[in-house]
Amino acid sequence: MGWRTWLGAGLGAALLTACQTEEESPLDLDDVAAATVTLEPGHCAGVVVEDGRHALTAAHCLRTEDRRVHLSFLDGRRLGASAVHVDRGRDVAILRLDAPAPVRPLEVAQALPTPGAPLVFAGRNDRPGEPQEALLERLGPCPSLPEVPAALFTTIRGKPGDSGAPLVDARMRVVGLVHGGAACRIAAPTAGLGEVVAQLSRGGPALARKAPPSRRQAALPSADPGAIASGRLRSEVEANGATSRPPDPRRRHHGRQEGQGPTGRAAQGHWR
């Protein structure tokens, strides 16, 4: 083999290895910050997930008439998006982007995190500050999340406007979206939404126009692969120490639902 052939083969192998290493490199906090978006109109956040054509946000960030929104990225770029799945009982929504996002999307964890697990909260991309290290204190019901038996009670220190921002685990997978409460410490779980996004990706606009999963299915926080499509869901609430007892409707007060935060203080529903 001539030296030119050998050199060419060596360079090709090196470039291939470099590309594979770059593609397979683990996500880090910079990727989390880049995947976090702000919503316009409104004062909320969201996160690009899975296939890079969808984003998650809090349902209460979308008004009933808001079928179209714009997402602003860390580098100033903007993309239009359409709401294709809105579940106000779980306070989660899925947006379909008009084009692939210019960032690495985050994976959505399939199962609930375990109480005591470390979490990371990067916050909005238009606010300065370092990512926060936090803990999942407990799982449990929250009156302002009537369809969620296991809301995430965390130690994050959020601010109004953080609604819809992602909480990620040690592997940079999305496990929840900021919902509200004292210091925004309560998060809506996202387990199971990765499969919904996968269905939307496979089915395209035709599937996006179909009705979302039933309230019964949406209330369950985790699912086996393909379980949402088949209706065969498996809850991991009891395995993670949470109760499935529904919230007491008598605790609602003039449309504002009060829950008990992880520090024992009253948590006032959700806020933007």
What distance in Å separates the CA atoms of residue 176 and residue 163, rounded to the nearest whole number? Answer: 11
User: Quick check: is 61 in a domain?
Assistant: yes
Q: Which amino acid is at 183?
A: A
CATH number of the domain encompassing residue 167: 2.40.10.10
Q: Are 45 and 159 in contact (CB under 8 A)?
A: no
Residue 49, pLDDT score: 97
- Choosing from 166, 191, 216, the residue where a domain stops is 191
What distance in Å separates the CA atoms of residue 74 and residue 6, rounded to the nearest whole number? Answer: 43
Number of domains in the chain: 2
The more confident residue out of 217 and 153 is 153
For the segment 72-97, the average pLDDT, to the nearest whole number, is 94
Check whether residue 137 and residue 184 sit in a common domain. Answer: yes
Check whether residue 126 and residue 178 sit in a common domain. Answer: yes
For 80, other C-beta atoms within 10 Å of its C-beta total: 14
For 237, other C-beta atoms within 10 Å of its C-beta total: 21
C-alpha distances in Å from residue 14, one per residue of 18, 24, 26, 261: 6, 15, 20, 53
Q: Express each pLDDT in 199-255 by its tens digit.
A: 998 875 444 433 344 443 333 333 333 333 333 333 333 333 333 333 343 333 333
Q: Express each pLDDT in 11-30 by its tens digit.
A: 344 444 444 444 568 888 99
Query: What residue numbers bound the domain in which 164 lies?
Result: 117-191
Q: Are 131 and 32 in contact (CB under 8 A)?
A: yes
DSSP codes joined into one string, 199-216: HHHHHHHHHHTSPPPPHH
The more confident residue out of 215 and 109 is 109
Q: Express each pLDDT in 155-173 by its tens digit.
A: 998 888 899 999 999 999 9
